[in-house]
Structure 1
Amino acid sequence: MQNKDACTSIMVGKKASLDGANYIARNEDRVKAIEPKRFLVKPAVKGRHETYVSPYNKVTVALPEERMRYTSTPTLDQTAGPNEEDGINEANVAASFTESVYANDRVLAYDPYVKNGLAEDSLCTLVLPYIHSAREGVEYTGKLIAELGSAEGNGMQFADADDIWYMEVVTGHQWVAVRIPDDCYAVTPNQVAIEDIDFDDPDNYMWADGIQEFVEEHQLNPDHDRWDFRHIFGTSTQKDRHYNTPRTWFAQRYLSPNASLGQRPEDSEMPFIRKAEFKIANEDIQYVHVLKSHFNETPYDPMGDAPERKTYRAISLSRTAQSHILQVRNLNKYKTSIHWIELGVPAFNPYVPFFANADDTDELYRNVPEKMNLESAFWLNEALAEVVESHYQEFMEKDEDYQKELNEWARRKIAQVDKEAASLERQALTDYLTGQNHEIATHYNERTKALFFELLTEGCELSKMSFKMDPNL
């Protein structure tokens, strides 16, 4: 098994969101502190006759002759596979693939992982270009699992303008999926999350063929009167209570302040799906206490000085390779869904909005050198995060002001683009949105450079090597 993602995912239904869009989002956290990522548009393909072979585990798949265009965030180093992770395709379907989840040893004893089965390096590449709805995303992935098996446990999010589906593949062949209700949200942190499955409601639940028989045959259900996927297939360990459950606690504490009263960071039975107590904005998902959070305003904040600051694993980490928010919109039937990208450390760096209906991405995001280069968006954001964290108390206010300023600018820009795009169709619309993406990339890059050099200059005055001197010397 390869080095796994250790991520945090959030889904927000269209009636729970402030703007009526469906949202799926995730921090892609890796084992290494630095793992350069690119943001690409992969073009449509027709008449292809090609077989995919994973560089990581040699899983082999005959590819369909036609592939839709899609956005993706592949790893720069392709020796362990493309690891494209997430994106939005030209059918206006979004997906985020590799929320690592872990099954217990009881179920793995009877259905172990398949070494050369479907793994996180290949999921986006083999699924996203071929699906036309969120539901089809689950069905298509399920067919691949039945054919190839799974090399590991993964949670996957699929969204279109109507639906959000969350799928958990937990053993070599067993999986379930649930439709997130329109007026709800869900948070999952590297732990089997889906609870009760209603096998009489196929409109809102899907599952692997034979999963009920598998559980019954091997006597795997610990409950007397329910079929709870988390209880049957998941784990509840000391590691879960320090590494996983606190992230759910923190997100629900903000998004459901009344319903979550009394919950504690180490609670193992927090609900997966919750009703939103207020309409959730994009800024709530990214900026206020969710993907950017590090247990702010609690004793568990690693940037604080309380004795408990290292007790739990926070949401935003220094080893986040990238974070994304996929905002699936269908305004007036033209496609202007937005792939928000954050590179660097989410706590310190902005989310940049790119329209998914585009033919390419800006060179600042497309071209990523192996070593640090401030002409690359990835490396510039990593450098800014390092400077801010090094003088956190002195620089955090300016960094937060910078992020707020860019969020305000993004809202105005998107509203302007929406107005202009309403009269455009087909390739003219795609060309226009592609050009706007380049403008957006340039604006964010210039503003980020300005702050980076400002803080770097100020940091020279904060050196511990300084000494108060006689002005005459």
Structure 2
Amino acid sequence: MKRQTHSACTSIMVGKKASRDGSNFIARNEDNFVAIWPKKFFVKKAVEDQDKKYVSPYNQLTVDLPKKAYRYTTSPDADPSEGLYEEDGVNEKNVGMSATESVMANEAVLAYDPLVPEGVAEDSMTTLVLPYIDSARAGVERLGELIEEFGSAESNGVEFVDADEIWYMEIATGHHWVAIKIPDDCYVVAANQIGIEDIDFTDSNNFMWSKGIEDFVEDNQLNPDFDRWDFRHIFGTDTKKDRHYNTPRVWYGQKVLNPSTQQDPESSELPFLRKPEKKIAVEDIQRILASHYNETKFDPLGSGSAEDKKRYRAISLSRTENSHILQLRPNGETIEWKALGIPSFSPYVPFFTNANAIDDSYSYAPAKLDLKSAYWMYEALNMVVESHYKEFVEPNLDYQKELRSWSRKKIAEVDEEVKKLDQVAAVDYLTKQNHLIAEHFNEATKKHMTDLVTKGAEMSKLTFLMDPNL
């Protein structure tokens, strides 16, 4: 099996009664172990009568595909030699998926149900599920069926969303998993560890689970608790790595959305579900995904001690390649917000998913630097901003703020126009708007980068002012 490079992410889910505009949100930072890993973003066309087997380049998993596949947005690796890793998208039925949030199961549960190396892995999940589902619940059901048949190669968390429901599924071992419907008035921040807590096996409306999981736990004496069935306690880990790599990210996300609640960033019992103190806007989700312990002593770009600045793994990293927010709006077209590169410095670009294309600058992602590529343009911007962070952070924040304001205005204008159109005309119109949105952001970004490079040239240490009297 080839080396898995996608294994460190942070996810956020927000229910429609917890959000400001009644939207359901799922979101995630896709992180890698390397800083440069080009990503594409485009629309895959619907297929009516395919006769095809899927074969994974990563582990040779082979699956017969259904004949009909829905159109969907996709964010694959530019180099598919180690797998497609389509990661996230929304299909034409307005169902969204983000896969995966890598997690770890403990050695006890893995002893009795080990992972299956040739089973379903992150590289395949979106490809095998998203084009074939018409609801968030159906996403859990299809992925569960695939795991039952082929096993799971990894421990993962997977997000599904539609306009009515959000489901989060955690796959712990080769064949065992649970899923929870996120309550409408709650949010979740997940960070590379099993987080789902108590499961009610009498409530199939709000929970789903793998066949035989209760007997598996009972027969192998795996439950450490006397009076509860807590998936995190049974299947999860509680290690030093969790307390420095994982739980602090959950702590920070909850600190942003519940600022009056005091918690220990290294606590192993941070709640999985939380009700926010105020309604959550898309900008709040962007703020968390772009964060690096801002305004705390743990910020690696802040003024804390050298030890504190390296104490915890941040949410936004140099190896974040693709940050996305899927917004299922109650009375409008679904939006996929996309920030390529480091979301601390890159803006979130709103694209309408009920469209036939995104933009050529997003489907073009060569192996080497080319500013015609959106991926490379934002990676270049990230490098420029961080090179003189103290001098460039405020201009960069102003640039992002201006684009956030422009996005809200643009979305409102598009919403009004779409109301006048039939379904076919709406798809064509939204496709055109995606191109115009990309063009606006591309031009604004190149101007911003030009301004920063010009300013940075004056900061060179290879500067000497001649005495005019000489």
Normalised by the length of structure 2, the TM-score is 0.98
Distance in 1 of aligned mates of 2:49 and 2:296: 56
C-alpha displacement at 1:429, in angstroms?
Answer: 0.6
Q: Is the 8 A contact 2:333 2:354 kept in 1?
A: yes
Report the Cα distance in structure 1 between the residues aligned to 2:211 and 2:469, rounded to whole angstroms.
83
Counterparts of 1:441 and 1:162, CA distance in 2 = 29
Match of 2:271 in 1: 271
Tell me the equivalent position of 2:5: 3
| Alignment deviations for residues 229-279 of structure 1 (CA, whole Å, 9 cap, x no partner) | 000000010000000000010010110123x32x11111100010011100
- Superposed CA deviations along residues 148-199 of structure 1, whole A, max 9, x for unmatched, are 1000011000000000000000110000000110011000000000000011
In structure 1, C-alpha distance between the alignment counterparts of 2:387 and 2:147, rounded to whole Å: 45
The ranges of structure 1 where at least 4 consecutive aligned residues each deviate by more than 3 angstroms after the TM superposition are none
Q: Is the alpha carbon distance of 1:472 and 1:52 closer, same or farther for their aligned partners in structure 2, counting shifts above 3 Å?
A: farther
Corresponding residue to 2:417 among 409, 412, 420: 420
Q: 1:399 to 1:471 in 2, by over 3 A?
A: farther
Structure 1: state its 5+ residue gaps.
Answer: none
Q: Which amino acid in structure 1 is aligned with residue 74 of structure 2?
A: S
The answer on 1:326 being equivalent to 2:323 is no
Letter aligned with residue 174 of structure 1: H
Give per-residue Cα distances to partners, 1:387-416, cap 9 Å, x unaligned.
100100000000000000000000000000
User: Are 2:401 and 1:401 aligned?
Assistant: no
The answer for the alignment partner of 2:299 in structure 1 is: 301
1:431 to 2:428 alignment: yes
User: What is the deviation of 1:466?
Assistant: 2.4
1:357 CA displacement: 0.4
Give, in whole Å, the separation in 2 of the partners of 1:313 and 1:465.
35
Alpha-carbon distance change, 454 to 41 in structure 1, aligned in 2, over 3 angstroms: same
CA distance in 1, matches of 2:40, 2:338: 10
Letter in 2 for 1:381: Y
| Matched AA of 1:72 | T
Moved more, 141-150 or 360-369: 360-369
Q: CA deviation at 1:5?
A: 2.1
Aligned with residue 445 of structure 2, among 445, 448, 454: 448
Partner-residue secondary structure (3-state), 1:79: helix
Secondary structure of 1:388's aligned partner: helix
Q: Which amino acid aligns with 1:337?
A: T
Supply the distance in 2 between the matched residues of 1:279 and 1:472 (Cα, whole angstroms): 64
Query: Is the Cα contact below 8 Å between 2:15 and 2:182 reproduced in 1?
Result: yes
Mapped partners of 2:235, 2:469: distance in 1: 73
C-alpha separation in 1, matches of 2:164 and 2:303 = 45
Which secondary structure does the structure 2 equivalent of 1:274 belong to? coil
Q: Does 1:370 align with 2:367?
A: yes
Structure 1 match to 2:22 = 20
1:338 paired to 2:335: yes
User: Which residue does the alignment assign to 2:407?
Assistant: 410
Aligned residues: 466
User: For residues 189-238 of structure 1, what are the alpha-carbon distances to aligned partners after superposition, in whole Å with 9 as ceiling and x for unaligned?
Assistant: 00000000011111101000100000000000000000000000000100
The superposition leaves residues 41-84 of structure 1 with CA deviations (integer Å, 9 ceiling, x where unpaired) of 00000111110000110000000000000001000010011100
Letter in 2 for 1:463: S
1:235: which partner in 2?
237
Structure 1 counterpart of 2:456, one-letter code:
G
Tell me which residue corresponds to 1:316. Answer: 316
Residue matched to 2:459: 462
Paired amino acid for 1:344: G
Partners of 1:170 and 1:46 in 2: CA distance: 34
Cα distance between partner residues in 2 of 1:206 and 1:465:
63
**Distance between the aligned counterparts of 1:471 and 1:178, measured in 2?**
74
Contact kept? 2:105, 2:237, Cα under 8 Å: yes
CA distance in 1, matches of 2:460, 2:244: 35
Partner of 1:352: 349
> What does residue 218 of structure 1 align with?
220
Shift of residue 471 of structure 1? 4.0
For residue 325 of structure 1, what is the amino acid of its counterpart? I
Change (3 A) 1:266 1:469: farther
SS at match of 1:443: helix
TM-score, with normalisation over the residues of structure 1? 0.97
Structure 2: any 5+ residue segments left out of the alignment? none
Q: Quick one: which amino acid aligns to residue 299 of structure 2?
A: D
Q: State the 1:40 CA deviation.
A: 1.0
Task: Specify the SS of the correspondent of 2:436.
Answer: helix
Q: Of 245, 248, 251, which residue of structure 2 is paired with 1:246?
A: 248
Provide the residue aligned with 1:193 in structure 2: 195
C-alpha distance in 2, partners of 1:233/1:157?
19
Q: Secondary structure at the match of 1:273?
A: coil
* Change in 2 beyond 3 A, CA 1:394/1:217: same
How far apart are residue 465 of structure 1 and its match? 2.5
* Counterpart Cα distance in 2 of 1:114 and 1:243: 26
Distance 1:177 1:464 in 2: 56
The answer to whether the Cα contact below 8 Å between 2:22 and 2:330 also exists between their aligned partners in 1 is no
1:472 CA displacement: 5.7
C-alpha contact (below 8 Å) 2:194/2:236 kept by paired residues: yes
Q: Does the residue aligned with 1:74 lie in a helix, a strand or coil? A: coil
CA distance in 2, matches of 1:124, 1:375: 27
Please identify, of 418-427 and 63-72, the stretch whose mean Cα deviation from structure 2 is larger: 418-427
- Give the aligned CA root-mean-square deviation in angstroms: 1.0
Q: Residue 34 of structure 2 aligns with which residue?
A: 32
Amino acid at match of 1:461: E
Summarize the alignment of residues 250-265 of structure 1 with structure 2, pairs less than 5 Å apart.
250-258=252-260, 260-261=261-262, 263-265=263-265
Q: Given the alignment of the two structures, is residue 98 of structure 1 paired with residue 100 of structure 2, yes or no? A: yes
Residue 125 (structure 1) aligns with: 127
Which residue does the alignment assign to 1:73?
Answer: 75
